[in-house]
Amino acid sequence: MTDWTRESGASIAGAVRAGEITARSIVERHLDVIEARNPLLKAFTDVTAGRALATAERLDARRRRGEALPPLAGVPFAVKNLFDMAGLPTRAGSKINRDRPASEVDATAISRLEAAGAILIGGVNMGEYAYDFTGRNAHDGHSRNPHDPERMTGGSSGGSGGCVAAGMAPVALGSDTNGSIRVPASLCGLFGLKPTYGALSRGGSFPFVTSLDHVGPLARNVEDLAMVHDAMRGRDPRDPACWGGPAEPLAPQIENGIGGLRIARAGGYFTRLASPQALAAVETVASALEAWRVVDVPEAERARAAAFVMTMTEGAALHQDRLRQRITDFDPEVRDRLLAGAMLPGAWYHRAQVFRAWYKEAVAELFREVDVLIAPATPVSAPLVDQRVFTVEGQDMPVRANLGIFTQPISFIGLPVVAVPVWPATGMPIGVQVIAAAGRDDLALRIARHLEREGICAARVAD
């Protein structure tokens, strides 16, 4: 008998559309898993069971009337709780925001996924105001990794990673400013898509650093990433940075193979502070792709520093009133970073933005020689939930600031990335970034699908 909580979204939609199972039954089974596993894993902060069951009933009624159902019919999905959900205040991982009025309308991403037949089952945990790489949250409890609850999920989309790895939902939306989709995908052993900047609408989501904020899905397979992407694409007046994404849907392209693609490994900065496990994962992926060429991403370390300063400054600017009025209601680890960010010189921010313009062109030049780059997603696999420091190459590095050292230089210029999971013989998974030129999300997905088809990369539901 099929355990539908371990199936992909595509498989679920196929079965619901064919009438092999009802959408209601799919939702009920996922709600059962949430009820059983969420007290330990702290993935969900809001379960929208009533709404989900009502949506499922409407889908089932449409099918009974003989209507053709949309492509994601019956696919449960969760959203990081910075997305507006009608009827609920948008927490954004904070204590402060839950005092705000309930949202009147859904975020654009939710509306579009529901129009495609998917079913919202709730909001999930995240690091406060998305300023986090760990999945820790002082207000809602720390997200715990379903593959080892003593370990962190990564963040800030920690609940998104946790719920998909636990079989609570086949797909969850996250946001990624500096790595917040790719880091939890890496630590939870999932596929994650950070699309090209502006490709998918952020309308109705609570911002962090608008210059760098992206939204995208985490899932257990590549087809689900592409289908969710396609359902979310299109221009949106609610997001001034949204240009609408690729003209053609991506799902039909993922089986196009990798023939003729020029694939290289990112060397230099992307190897220096990677653990042996991270380097081995890159080696596994690169060997499977026969990617022998190594290239340097020019000035990646400077890009990471500039992203770091931009994040501190824009984050502090966004929250300056809340810092002055509600200082005791912040997570202390976030509070101290925001306060420090409020003290940085404006000239630094401007210089970081000028450097960003230079770096974008320098990396675009590199992408005239290669189509896809392979790099580690995180320097290490999942640390313990309370671990403060990890050590690589004899260097102690604070976990919170450094899990994203390999993701920050990429999102800084908005390049599309698919994080793919690699499992060692024993122990926890770790992710590898498949990076393409701006607007070529299709190439990153094609490579990821090839790796999945060849059995090099796979996601698992934790037992």
Partner 1 sequence: MPASDPPDFEALASALARALALPVTEETLPGVATNLALAYRLAPAFLDFPLPDTLEPAAIFDPRPNPVVAP
Which residues lie below 8 Å from residue 463, measured CB to CB, with a gap of 6+?
A: none
CA distance 421 to 461: 13
CA distance 83 to 369: 38
Q: Which of 211, 221, 381, 411 binds partner 1 (CB under 8 A)?
A: 211
Q: Which of 1, 290, 321, 324 binds partner 1 (CB under 8 A)?
A: 324
CA distance 295 to 23: 48
Q: Establish if 101 lies at the interface with partner 1 (CB under 8 A).
A: no
Nearer to partner 1, 151 or 214 (CB): 214
**Token pair in block for residue 329:** 């209601």
Site string for partner 1, 249-268 (x = CB under 8 A): --------------------
Query: CB-based burial of residue 448 (10 Å sphere; 0-12 exposed, 13-18 middle, 19+ buried)?
Result: buried
The secondary element (H helix, E strand) that includes residue 378 is none
Q: For residue 99, how many other CB atoms are within 10 A of its CB? A: 10
Sole window of 122-130, 329-337, 388-396, 440-448 interacting with partner 1 (rule: CB under 8 A):
329-337
The secondary element (H helix, E strand) that includes residue 403 is none
Length of the chain: 463
- 180 has catalytic annotation: yes
Nearer to partner 1, 5 or 408 (CB): 408
Distance of CA 133 to the CA centre of its chain: 11
Q: Which of 308, 390, 406, 423 binds partner 1 (CB under 8 A)?
A: 308
Q: Establish if 360 lies at the interface with partner 1 (CB under 8 A).
A: yes
Q: Establish if 454 lies at the interface with partner 1 (CB under 8 A).
A: no
Nearer to partner 1, 172 or 212 (CB): 212
Q: Which of 341, 379, 383, 429 binds partner 1 (CB under 8 A)?
A: 341
Half-sphere exposure of 290 (CA within 13 A, CB side): 6
Number of chain residues interacting with partner 1 (CB under 8 A): 44
CB 194 within 8 A of CB 206: no
CA distance 187 to 143: 12
- 95 has catalytic annotation: no
Instruction: Show contacts with partner 1 in window 280-299 (CB under 8 A).
Output: 299
* Partners of 293 in the β-ladder: 264
Nearer to partner 1, 211 or 221 (CB): 211
Nearer to partner 1, 21 or 305 (CB): 305
Q: Establish if 367 lies at the interface with partner 1 (CB under 8 A).
A: no
Q: Establish if 306 lies at the interface with partner 1 (CB under 8 A).
A: yes
- For 87-120, the DSSP string reads TS---TT-SGGGGSPPPSS--HHHHHHHHTT-EE
Query: CB-based burial of residue 276 (10 Å sphere; 0-12 exposed, 13-18 middle, 19+ buried)?
Result: exposed
Sole window of 33-41, 150-158, 351-359, 421-429 interacting with partner 1 (rule: CB under 8 A):
351-359
Q: Which of 323, 392, 397, 462 binds partner 1 (CB under 8 A)?
A: 323
* Catalytic residue of the set 80, 186, 381, 411: 80
**Token pair in block for residue 440:** 């070529």
Q: Establish if 346 lies at the interface with partner 1 (CB under 8 A).
A: no
167: region left, alpha or beta (phi > 0 left; psi from -120 to 50 alpha): left
Site string for partner 1, 49-88 (x = CB under 8 A): ----------------------------------------
Site string for partner 1, 232-251 (x = CB under 8 A): -----xx-xx----------
Shortest reach from residue 142's CB to partner 1, in Å: 19
* Catalytic residue of the set 8, 157, 180, 211: 180
In 181-238, where does DSSP find H-type helix? 182-188, 222-232
CB 309 within 8 A of CB 348: yes
- 275 has catalytic annotation: no
Nearer to partner 1, 257 or 332 (CB): 332
Q: Which of 2, 353, 391, 395 binds partner 1 (CB under 8 A)?
A: 353
**Token pair in block for residue 97:** 């925001």
* Catalytic site positions: 80, 156, 180
Interacting residues toward partner 1 by CB under 8 A:
104-105, 211, 237-238, 240-241, 299, 301-306, 308-309, 312, 323-324, 327, 332-333, 335-337, 339-344, 348, 350-358, 360, 401, 413
